[in-house]
Structure 1
Amino acid sequence: MDFAQRYGPWALIAGASEGTGRAFARRLASRGLPSVLLARRREPLQALVAEIRAESGVECVAATVDLAAPDALAHIVAAVGGRQIGLFVSNAGADPHGARFLDLDAQAWLDLAQRSVMTTLHCCHHFAGPMRARGRGGVLLVNSGACYGGASFMAAYSATRAFTLAFGEGLWAELKPHGVDVLNLVLGRTDTPALRKLLAEKGLPVPEGIASPDDVAELGLERLPHGPVQNWGLADDAVGYAISSAAQRRERVLMIDKASRAVFGDS
């Protein structure tokens, strides 16, 4: 199958208004795949729909959804309507605060967890089930190197990223036999409007050599069939900033999966 057959007929992108989400939408359209685009802000989404239509002739659908709301899934399902989703890209979950855990009201972190963990879990459960039944599809979880350990200013954020890493690895093992691909795309610093805004608020310069959203999106789509992990800037067998290489993590997941099947049954 070509790309559009394998992951079509529609993609769903959570957090699509700018940065890597916007880049994913444009890259998917260039491969003939339309997307349902989700974000809180209507204007950037509508501008992106118009841009994609002009670039590729592909028609996308924009829907304003607060992904941190407890009822986000209901709004997402309504926006998707009868469209068949063959690829879910979870791109929401960046930390806009850059603050210590105790320096903000707890609600800020609860919203972050709702957006990054609960809404992602809900969407994967709702949309990956039909993918499994069809025997094709993909789930791409845009993650961060913060998934590999906590640090000051990142207590809640790194915890949500660690959840995404472990969840994605387990989902990859579960869905791989059914023809559904799952990838954790683990990023370093990426040149997004959100990062630039945060740096400007703190009076910090934009660092040199940070990744471009277009390159990130291209790599994610290229490596989607080779999950469960792709570390930005690292070869499959290189450890670098990660605790272990992507290849080592893949082997570890398969080993644990084999042991779990022996306990719980291979059904």
Structure 2
Amino acid sequence: MTDKSVYGPWAVIAGGSEGVGASFAELLADAGINLVLIARKPGPLHETADRARARGVEVRTLTLDLLDPGALPAIRTVTDGLEVGLLVFNAGANSYGHEFVTGDLDRVQGVLDLNITAQLALTHHFGALMRERRRGGILLVGSLSGFMGQAQISVYSAAKAFGRVFAEGLWLELGQYDVHVLELVLGVTRTPAMERAGLRMDLPGLRVAEPEDVAREGLEHLADGPVWVAGENAGTAEKRSGFPRAELVLAAHEASRRLLLPAASPAPSASSS
């Protein structure tokens, strides 16, 4: 169970309404840690808040788009005066699914602002307070996508690569103040967002993690930073970090294409790439 004396009495979860974010909320509530939950969708947000309150903790909610220029001031109106011992940034998403050069640069900027700029703003604010108190934790949710460039999501993959390298440097900076930093790298996880994206979860040999399992794994390894790869995907992350790059990128591209094919469609041959 997550140590309330280290990571409490309050935790802030950005992207805390469903999927892995909701699982973080429930597990932290079980540990007796009060919650500030931030998400765009009020329905799932309030449902998750009610489940957490039923576990006996105080919960504050903020329906907010982190791309709003006033996001951080709005968050501070809810959190100033609270002793926040844990920040979970789970709000990364890919709203851009086109080839880069034919895509809309405004949408590209939105991917960067959510996955990088918003993450930096919250980490800067809450990390400074934890540094002063000399305790706490910052958990940044990453993705296997950040270990390799991929077609259609090249910007998202690059943003996730930034997050991992940033977490490593932050881990060095804050570790001397007893503040733990961890990037939790997720693979394919059975979340509402992935289901809405139409990803096939039935491919033979595909590792599909459950939200509660990866959230629990992340909380259990908060002190084992700077990077923890969840769901038995460490081998995949290591392979994606290797060389030669062309061969690895092409192989991963073929695998990712199969995730989006309808169940009745044959997989493309290697010669069609």
Shorter-chain TM-score tier: 0.7 to 0.9
State the Cα distance separating 1:205 from its structure 2 match.
3.1
Match of 1:206 in 2: 201
State the Cα distance separating 1:52 from its structure 2 match.
1.4
Is residue 74 from structure 1 mapped to residue 73 from structure 2 by the alignment? yes
- Distance in 1, matches of 2:44 and 2:218, equals 23
Deviations 1:238-259 (Å, cap 9, x if unpaired)?
Answer: 9644427xxxxxxxxxxxxxxx
Task: Give the alignment of 1:247-258 within 5 angstroms.
Answer: none
State the Cα distance separating 1:97 from its structure 2 match.
4.1
Q: 1:121 to 1:131 in 2, by over 3 A?
A: same
Match of 2:195 in 1: 196
The answer to whether the Cα contact below 8 Å between 1:96 and 1:198 also exists between their aligned partners in 2 is no
Q: Secondary structure at the match of 1:47?
A: helix
- Distance in 2, matches of 1:101 and 1:120, equals 23
Match of 2:216 in 1: 218
State the Cα distance separating 1:101 from its structure 2 match.
2.3
The answer to whether the Cα contact below 8 Å between 1:97 and 1:198 also exists between their aligned partners in 2 is no
Match of 2:53 in 1: 53
State the Cα distance separating 1:96 from its structure 2 match.
3.9
Using the size of structure 2 for normalisation, the TM-score is 0.82
Task: Give the alignment of 1:81-120 within 5 angstroms.
Answer: 81-120=80-119
State the Cα distance separating 1:150 from its structure 2 match.
1.0
The answer to whether the Cα contact below 8 Å between 2:14 and 2:38 also exists between their aligned partners in 1 is yes
Q: Which amino acid aligns with 2:108?
A: W
Q: Secondary structure at the match of 1:224?
A: coil
Q: 1:89 to 1:132 in 2, by over 3 A?
A: same
State the Cα distance separating 1:103 from its structure 2 match.
4.2
Is residue 4 from structure 1 mapped to residue 42 from structure 2 by the alignment? no
Identical counterparts, % of pairs? 41
Q: Secondary structure at the match of 2:114?
A: helix
- Distance in 1, matches of 2:215 and 2:42, equals 22
- Distance in 2, matches of 1:142 and 1:157, equals 13
The answer to whether the Cα contact below 8 Å between 1:145 and 1:187 also exists between their aligned partners in 2 is yes
Match of 1:230 in 2: 228
- Distance in 1, matches of 2:8 and 2:116, equals 25
The answer to whether the Cα contact below 8 Å between 2:138 and 2:181 also exists between their aligned partners in 1 is yes
- Aligned pair count? 238
Match of 1:26 in 2: 26
- Distance in 2, matches of 1:205 and 1:236, equals 21
State the superposition RMSD in angstroms: 1.9
The answer to whether the Cα contact below 8 Å between 1:86 and 1:131 also exists between their aligned partners in 2 is yes
State the Cα distance separating 1:235 from its structure 2 match.
8.2
Match of 2:39 in 1: 39
Q: Which amino acid aligns with 2:32?
A: G
Q: Which amino acid aligns with 1:27?
A: L
Q: Which amino acid aligns with 2:202?
A: P
The answer to whether the Cα contact below 8 Å between 1:49 and 1:59 also exists between their aligned partners in 2 is no
| Higher alpha-carbon deviation: 154-163 or 74-83 | 74-83
- Distance in 2, matches of 1:239 and 1:152, equals 18
The answer to whether the Cα contact below 8 Å between 2:91 and 2:115 also exists between their aligned partners in 1 is yes
Q: Secondary structure at the match of 2:24?
A: helix
State the Cα distance separating 1:3 from its structure 2 match.
0.4
Task: Give the alignment of 1:179-190 within 5 angstroms.
Answer: 179-190=178-189
- Distance in 2, matches of 1:129 and 1:80, equals 14
Q: Which consecutive unaligned segments of at least 5 residues does structure 2 have?
A: 243-273
Q: Secondary structure at the match of 2:221?
A: helix
- Distance in 1, matches of 2:125 and 2:31, equals 25
The answer to whether the Cα contact below 8 Å between 1:37 and 1:60 also exists between their aligned partners in 2 is yes
Match of 2:62 in 1: 63
Match of 1:153 in 2: 152
Deviations 1:162-196 (Å, cap 9, x if unpaired)?
Answer: 11011100000001111000001011111110100
State the Cα distance separating 1:159 from its structure 2 match.
1.1
Q: Which amino acid aligns with 1:43?
A: G
Match of 1:124 in 2: 123
Q: Which consecutive unaligned segments of at least 5 residues does structure 1 have?
A: 245-267
